[in-house]
Structure 1
């Protein structure tokens, strides 16, 4: 089975609660250990570093492999009184904890340092219940299967998403409270027509079928089928069993077991069980067992109890503590510095209010709250700091097979206490930024913070494809996979780690034989994984990468373009693609005006946006190039034909009057009618969607000229902080929107790449330089990495530690300032590069797939350079070390470049 996990250590910043370090136990069953580490003002104030809202801490620096990272905690803004909390390796089983406390005020300060240990059972994304796991007891000779581990499951009424499941769950799989492994068969399978999870309307399940294979070690003479299920409906669910028996699952308020005696004995070996639903009731299936009727009462599924309360063994006189949690096989050891430390227990589910409310309780060793959670608190202090003083305090955390081994490991680590500063000095070298040109010096902080957020925005657990994985998230507020953000996350990660970038891509790709998930889908259907793949291919030139990704991307593409898996994206006669059956969002822009109008007027069945087709064209071109690399000539020709066909379809959506493309309405038969207009008859799509055929390379020359004017005009799309999502002259432009009235980075990156394709080097630089300067200014002011920028104020807004759609910031920095970087537009692919070790020389081979002007950016070590190319080009040095090579090509061709001092 393909792993969708990341190549990261078991220790890392994976929490979904409070900042610090987490551990993924070897069982990898979704249970997580957290050790939050944060400062406070002794007997005065504590700011709890909640990762779900702004709470006074900032990802500050991180190694790409997460071996070492630092969070800055501000007690008095800005940098008057703060702590840098860092983590570094002490072998694979332990991590060093370093707290560097700074008092930059003119007065003495008393601080406290909190270590806060806790353990967490998995919680399904966007659900309010935890999954504690279970113990299954089976009678002798019984056979057992979890319902979600079926062989086949088919709906009698076709669903558009049955081959593109949400979050990569199996077809029909659903998270259900009280189920043994947390997931079972649901999603309306076999049920009467009605609502499913999150208010989804489900069709009748009459005729739905599911098959299982159960293995019997001995024959069953008087067998019965035992089914654990939950039926919250008012009527029983019914299923035909192998055409011989009828299974009834009565209503119940919690998971129950139903027992069905079977009519015939069953021999030893494999037994195929088929359930065909009658389409009544609302049952969800947890697990099934076959056993002798007399033994049926011995089949039980017992949920585990609370996993948050450990067996604590303090050795306070030796400065360590061991914690054995009931749902974790490993035992943890926590070590602290030789300062006054009190061990407390906190009986509450949250700390944000409770810890503040109890800050003046100096007496009790147990702080009792609502009893719904449990924390072990190492309360260290007072820690006095004189005016201008800095102190460093060390600790450590480790994991061992059992309590005695944990105690032994703590003793061993304490004997190495004198080496910890040396360990830190060696490990912290990994936090240094890669070399950059001198011209980039003023942008350093913004890049440091963006890379720290990119590397540390990882959560565990996320459940997909039957696995619990670590996952790069756009921000910890989104505890889930997220398709369109993740392509940009991967491209950002590629600037410091190609391995991390590939792992991010691989999470979203499915094996070519996948029948229920063409790709990992959550949220907007924007296929950014193709752009990430192209970035990796250009950076590596790897045929192995191409051969692995090609069949997976082909599966993705064919569903995206409505050619496979029951996809409904291409069911309009115009040929334009329609994503509405899979998500409300066309291009990832929540409040984009025509998108909102489609929802308001319920036009999803007969209205197509522009951007979905534009992305599909670019995906087809990426696949066509890859197919030719792999000698899949027939496939390449088919992808080229798709790109031409989809490009012709876009022309039906051109609106000459506004100078933009438009959302295209269709009549009841699916034929193109008119574009979506306001009540005054104005094109509703005056914005980046209406300009998106530019980055697809699907415009006529007059259309290109007009759209480039719009993009560069301060009266239309250009503003002081970049490209507005919506034309500022449009009557539906707003100053207070989320996307409408704001500047975001991802589509700016799309048009930046398109500007390189058009040979518009100055405009490409204007996009990048404006974004980089804007970003640096905001980071210097707030230390935050925001989602977007408000046009009037030019200040950041949205999520404050955002690594998703803001990651083009590090791509632009590499493109203009990081030696060893070669950047092209979409229509040029890098076949081969040969860089000198010091990046002073480059020999490269590029494949240009379109005629016309095209600019390539090359960053080398500073100094004068000579350029030779197999095709004439103009060379511009915008700043020392950056060369802009612009070609005028009569036809697609291969170009060799040589650059040397």
Structure 2
């Protein structure tokens, strides 16, 4: 199974600054990356360097789905007055071009310059490495054959962050990894009794290691002890030793808050396999974290140690003719060739890993007297050195622009020197720009092209390297470069957005979050809110695929994912309530992704997370079961199909105990110590705390009675409750706990709206589906047209975007809606429809849809985007189906429910 590591060597992978990166497979440490940062500026100006983590005037502008072309706009002066378009484009597999075009739309001449910053980046500033005497046999603590806790953890089968069970990351441990229990669980009071590894009798770890044989051996272990409240990497020594029993006698680890060594005599060890199992006696409090083990001759045990290595990232610069530079680094067997085409070029060297340490007024002045760019002008300020590292600065100056003029500069990053002419580079640039062009929208949708193009560019360029995934360094599409981690629910939406651009990208994102049968550490990749958007991505990819065989091969991994969600797999605790409702709070503080959702905030404030079941998680598991059932049926897996059906019935019935008929919302249900439902979560004033999107989520699952469905729809459509001027709000605006300045509470996000939009197609609510999509498109257009930023959300009070400014992730539904209504050749169904195949005529004036509606409870809508201008008739066999043109070219077809195999044709009248 692919993990997503198979990206091109070159791309926008930096986590620090926007630019072009090259993955370096062989260096002083795994995960190395060479960065080329491009910084256009005005001479004596104050244009920031392109930091990826906060706004600095750079905007993702355009990107090709195949990764061969992407561009940014840099504002040198506010909003289109003086700006630079920075483009990176592939020349071949070992060379990329860089094109920077300055535009002066002011009434005054401008003096500009261009900085290129080159750096070799490592994941960590230092590494801890073992030092061993001759003949030693060493193994890492993570190389275990077995690892168990006497008291099972909810995450025994779902190690977070794509780590091995028991693995944590810490630079103080060799290679940055150790073995222990650092999974955060402070949000869950019911788990407060968990103790660190080794604190409870019966905690055990076992190894099987080949050894050459020793006459008199010793076992040396690097470790540290952790206090009773350990498990989160706290420092400070425990008050007592941690003792394990082994076949060689007891192993006692003295208290030590920092990593330390302890040696134990083994006696004669014959050649062959050494079996070593450590079983804790149990201290009741203190535990241990393990680094590595080494077996040596007893006389040499004291020679076992560690050293620290700081990768040498200082460049050796070789100057060649015609602006060609070659950069070499210690421990790297390749050179990095950078050719700069500007006539006035110079070099500067920065001893820092943070470009913000440099004074911006020095970076924007090419004179040699300003070359020490870290030097403050006044003794009132100190010289900064925030991070270790080096930047080689290649600068081009003397770029004078008259009013209305443009100027273009080129550069090339390659493995070997290049002789490309500017004319040749321009030709490749123009070809790449055509590949990056957004597919044509119908005239009615063209007003959204800029805002949608910027969003697509952000999603396609928000990819970072490296991220650590179970022993390997991988590239990863992230919600935004501020987040240097996996994100389960965000990545589902990233996959949906990327699949709209290129289905293969969506598949890669999905596979990176799934686990193969060889992986016993995690059923799927989990980080953050456990909202299983991967099932919706899987369904979307299946609907897009004309040949579904490859995707159906992922069914076993999806089933494994589902079994964990349903509470049946690998130690899952989601089904621990007798009510039948599911909960995901053992795994993260945030059940729905809505961080400050009012019910969740109240629940945590009252310490009720161990007793509460949110609605949304059970609803999503029902929908996941329905999606899995469709695939099982397609594969002929009758038992799986029937099992999913039983789950759907059982969980749908359980949701009924969450219905509060007084307010018309489903509720957070509280349980007693035996897991029996005890009542609803209410505010101190008695108001149901779940008046919001969580409270209407059974609509998405298709688990409502007729009365519940009509009530939930009324809430969603009400402009006084959930439908704000900029879209569906997370929290009911009429609730006493609604805020106007929250992160989710008082804001509109696009992710959960997408689920309700798809549900409206299942319910035949085409007009409301259009209201959701159109309102979102307008709100997004208004913000992006003004700021060029692709924010996380829209504040209801102002209608303006907020939080991270180059977000893709959960904002991708905006792109999906624009394509659904305005990009000819696009088909969308609700969740209950199985789309087997869709084919369009070349000019997209007609299409044929092969589908099944056997799972639909009522007639469903299918939305097909065609070229506008002609009336369309929808035909099923000899029957004409109801058909509505919701927007010019966007046709909604009402398809009867209960059809196993239907062929619907849309053709001009």
TM-score, scaled relative to structure 1 = 0.93
Which of 153, 174, 181 is the equivalent residue of 2:175?
Answer: 181
Report the counterpart of residue 21 of structure 1 in structure 2. Answer: 20
1:818 paired residue number: 823
Q: Does 1:739 align with 2:740?
A: no
Judged with a 3 Å threshold, the aligned counterparts in structure 2 of structure 1 residues 393 and 201 are, in CA distance, closer, same or farther, namely farther
The residue number in structure 2 matching 1:395 is 411
Residue 636 (1) aligns with residue 672 (2):
no
Query: Would you say the 8 A contact 1:48–1:55 is kept in 2?
Result: yes
Q: State which of 660, 663, 677 in structure 1 corresponds to 2:682.
A: 677
Q: Does 2:321 align with 1:320?
A: no
Give the Cα–Cα distance (whole angstroms) in 2 for the partners of residues 338 and 667 of structure 1.
73
Instruction: Give 1:289-300 correspondences, 5 Å limit.
Output: 289-296=294-301, 299-300=304-305
Report the 3-state secondary structure (helix = DSSP H, G, I; strand = E; otherwise coil) of the residue aligned with 2:830: coil
Q: 1:285 aligns with which of 290, 299, 303?
A: 290
1:340 aligns with 2:335: no
Return closer, same or farther for 1:286/1:202 CA change in 2, 3 Å cut-off. Answer: closer
Structure 1 vs Structure 2 CA RMSD = 2.4
> For residues 343 and 213 of structure 1, what CA distance do their matches in structure 2 show?
55
Distance between the aligned counterparts of 2:45 and 2:726, measured in 1?
Answer: 41
Residue 874 of structure 2: aligned partner: 867
| Deviation of 1:249 (Å) | 3.6
Inter-CA distance 668–247: structure 2 relative to 1 (3 Å threshold): closer
The 5 Å alignment of 1:714-725 reads: 714-725=719-730
Q: SS at the partner of 1:49?
A: coil
When residues 415 and 556 of structure 1 are mapped into structure 2, their CA distance, relative to the original with a 3 A threshold, is closer
CA contact (8 A) 1:25 1:329 kept: no
- Could you say what secondary structure the match of 1:781 adopts? helix
Query: What is aligned with 2:40?
Result: 39
State the 4+ residue runs in structure 1 displaced beyond 6 angstroms: 197-201
> Are the structure 2 counterparts of residues 354 and 367 from structure 1 closer, same or farther at C-alpha, using a change threshold of 3 Å?
closer
- In the alignment, is the contact (CA less than 8 A) between 2:237 and 2:257 conserved in 1? no
Match for residue 230 of structure 2? none
Residue 150 in 1 paired to residue 144 in 2? yes
What is the SS of the residue equivalent to 1:171?
A: coil
The equivalent of 1:209 in structure 2 is: 204
Residues 769 and 536 of structure 1, relative CA distance in 2, 3 Å threshold? same
Question: Quick check: 1:375 aligned with 2:380?
Answer: no
How far apart in 2 are the matches of 1:213 and 1:318? 59
**Aligned 1:40-189 pairs, distance under 5 A:** 40-122=41-123, 130=124, 132-133=126-127, 136=130, 138-187=132-181
> In the alignment, is the contact (CA less than 8 A) between 1:237 and 1:283 conserved in 2?
no
Q: Which aligned pairs between 1:399-414 and structure 2 lie closer than 5 A? A: 399=415, 409-410=416-417, 413-414=418-419
CA spacing shift, 1:659–1:238, aligned 2, 3 Å: closer
Which residue of structure 2 aligns with residue 406 of structure 1? none
Task: Answer whether contact 2:581 2:618 (CA < 8 A) is retained.
Answer: yes
Match of 1:261 among 258, 261, 265: 265
In the alignment, structure 1 residue 853 sits paired with structure 2 residue 850? no
565, 585, 591: which is aligned to 2:590? 585
Note if contact 1:490-1:500 (Cα within 8 Å) is conserved in structure 2.
Answer: yes
Contact 1:488-1:805 at 8 Å conserved across structures: yes
Give per-residue Cα distances to partners, 1:610-630, cap 9 Å, x unaligned. 111110100010011111111
CA distance in 1, matches of 2:765, 2:408: 52
8 A Cα contact 2:825 2:840, kept in partner = yes
State the shift of 1:330 in Å: 2.5
Residue 19 of structure 1 deviates from its aligned partner by: 1.1
Q: CA separation in 1, counterparts of 2:143 and 2:849? A: 50
Change (3 A) 1:259 1:495: same
> Where does 1:220-619 land on structure 2 (aligned, <5 Å)?
220-231=214-225, 233-235=237-239, 237-240=241-244, 242-252=246-256, 254-267=258-271, 269-279=272-282, 281-296=286-301, 299-315=304-320, 317-352=321-356, 354-356=358-360, 358-359=362-363, 362-363=368-369, 365-368=371-374, 369-371=383-385, 372-399=388-415, 409-410=416-417, 413-414=418-419, 416=421, 418-619=423-624
SS of the residue corresponding to residue 321 of structure 1 reads strand
Once the 2 structures are TM-superposed, how far is the Cα of residue 199 of structure 1 from its aligned partner? Answer: 14
CA distance in 2, matches of 1:396, 1:236: 60
Q: How far did 1:415 drift?
A: 5.3
Alpha-carbon distance change, 242 to 253 in structure 1, aligned in 2, over 3 angstroms: closer
Q: Which moved more, 1:319-328 or 1:486-495?
A: 319-328
Cα distance in structure 1, aligned partners of 2:876 and 2:892: 13
Give how far 1:237 is off.
4.8
Give the conservation status (yes or no) of the 8 Å contact 1:233–1:283.
no
d(CA) in 2 for partners of 1:253, 1:312: 43
The C-alpha deviation readout for 1:409-444, integer Å capped at 9, x for no partner, is 22xx13555522222222222111112222211111
Question: Do 2:790 and 2:806's aligned partners in 1 also have CA atoms closer than 8 Å?
Answer: yes
Q: Are the aligned partners of 1:344 and 1:365 in contact in 2 as well (CA < 8 Å)?
A: yes
Question: Could you give the per-residue CA deviations for residues 710-733 of structure 1, whole angstroms, max 9, x where no partner exists?
Answer: 111112111211111111111111
8 Å CA contact 1:121, 1:307 repeated in 2: no
Aligned partners of 2:335 and 2:253: how far apart in 1?
A: 42
Aligned partners of 1:9 and 1:67 also within 8 Å = no
Contact 1:102 1:388 in 2 (8 A): yes
SS, match of residue 262 in structure 1:
strand
State the 1:256 CA deviation.
4.0
Q: Tell me by how many angstroms 1:837 deviates.
A: 3.7
Q: Would the aligned equivalents of 2:770 and 2:886 in 1 still touch at CA under 8 Å?
A: no
1:306-347: CA deviation from partner (whole Å, max 9, x where unpaired)? 4332222233x5412222223543321211013212211112
Cα deviations by residue, 1:89-138 (Å, 9 ceiling, x for unpaired): 1221221111111111111101110111122221xxxxxxx264465555
Contact 2:458 2:808 in 1 (8 A): yes
Tell me which residue corresponds to 1:877: 885
Look up the match of 1:125: none
CA distance in 1, matches of 2:694, 2:406: 52
| Stretches of structure 2 lacking an aligned partner (at least 5 in a row) | 226-235, 375-382
**Aligned residue for 1:658?**
663
Instruction: Write the distance in 2 (CA, Å) between the matches of 1:578 and 1:667.
Output: 14
CA distance in 1: counterparts of 2:282 and 2:360, whole angstroms: 53
Match of 2:378 in 1: none
SS for the counterpart of 2:642 is helix
Q: Is the Cα contact below 8 Å between 1:537 and 1:545 reproduced in 2?
A: no
* Cα distance in 2, alignment partners of residues 581 and 253 from structure 1: 28
Distance 1:98 1:168 in 2: 38
Could you tell me whether the CA contact under 8 Å between 2:777 and 2:817 is conserved in 1?
yes
Q: How far apart, in 1, do the equivalents of 2:485 and 2:83 lie? A: 32
Aligned to 1:402: none
Asked if 1:701 is matched to 2:741, the reply is no
Corresponding residue SS for 1:636: helix
Task: Describe the shift of the 1:377–1:221 C-alpha distance in structure 2 as closer, same or farther (beyond 3 A).
Answer: same
When structure 1 is superposed on structure 2, of 498-507 and 332-341 the one drifting more is 332-341
Q: Which residue of 1 aligns with 2:10?
A: 11
Contact residue 214 and residue 268 of structure 2 kept, 8 A: no
TM superposition score normalised by structure 2: 0.92
1:348-402: CA deviation from partner (whole Å, max 9, x where unpaired): 3422253326446841544454453321111221311111110110011123xxx
How many angstroms apart in 2 are the aligned matches of 1:367 and 1:739? 42
Once structures 1 and 2 are overlaid, which stretch shifts more, 543-552 or 493-502?
A: 543-552
Contact in 2 for aligned 1:6/1:503 (Cα 8 Å): no
Write the distance in 2 (CA, Å) between the matches of 1:106 and 1:199: 70
Provide Cα deviations, 1:509-551, integer angstroms capped at 9, x if missing partner: 1113533211111110100000000000111154423432211
CA distance in structure 1 between the aligned counterparts of 2:99 and 2:243, rounded to whole angstroms: 60
Aligned length: 873
